[in-house]
Amino acid sequence: MIVISYNIRSLGNIAKQRDCRDLISSEKADLCFIQESKLEEFSESLCYSWWGANNCKWAARNSEGRSGGILCAWNKDLFFVSSKWDFPGAVIIIGVWRPNNLRCCFVNVYAPSNPSEKHVLWDMIRVFVDQNKDLCLCVLGDFNAIRDPGERVGSGEPYGATETRLFDLFIRESELLEIRTQGRKFTWYQPNGRCKSKLDRFLVNKKWITE
């Protein structure tokens, strides 16, 4: 199973649609999770064009104006989705990975910047994870939070010790494991490169690792 998570910052941009389609094709992705689509509507024709074929289905939370937007898309021949939900900050899909009949759940996150709204999101995901331990769970996307001060550099704003502690606590109490990524340490950069943070992550439960 090949999974892509991409904070695209406007899927309505033709060049970014092409870049994403090329990435899905080159990596032979089975599922793709988009954050910050900035799309108020998402159509079948756009999905097929962006995916590069008509063998896909999707679940989306549309943006509010030009803010936010979350999209999950998958190869319908390989992954059968039985349930899907969306709420502020996340879209959830549950289904069966057909090649080995594995029941999986994906939580695609685009967290709000407001700390109190973020904490509500952590609590909702924590409860969901606790209720679905029998599934292979993957929580991924842009969490808009750091786990320790070293994951933010160059910002003039305080890193927020309480928020950082609560985010790390959410991950540990949910018994999620972070998949270490290769390449750049930071996932968000200001255009001038002076400020940078690690905001994007792949988190999985133990069943995901063992299965």
Distance CA 38, CA 56 (A): 20
Distance CA 8, CA 99 (A): 29
Domain count, the chain: 1
Reported confidence tier of residue 30, pLDDT bands at 50, 70, 90: very high
Quick one: pLDDT at residue 73? Answer: 94
Distance CA 62, CA 159 (A): 30
Q: What is the CATH number of the domain that holds 150?
A: 3.60.10.10
Percent of the chain past pLDDT 90, that is, above it, reads 47
Please list the residues that pair with 188 across neighbouring strands: 197
Distance CA 125, CA 19 (A): 31
Quick one: pLDDT at residue 199? Answer: 76
pTM over 0.85: yes
Helix (H, G, I), strand (E, B) or coil at 110: strand
Reported confidence tier of residue 189, pLDDT bands at 50, 70, 90: low
Q: Which residues in 1-12 are b (16+ Cβ under 10 Å) and which e?
A: eebbbbbbeebb
Q: Does the pLDDT at position 123 exceed 90?
A: yes
- Residue 31: domain span: 3-210
Residues in the chain: 211
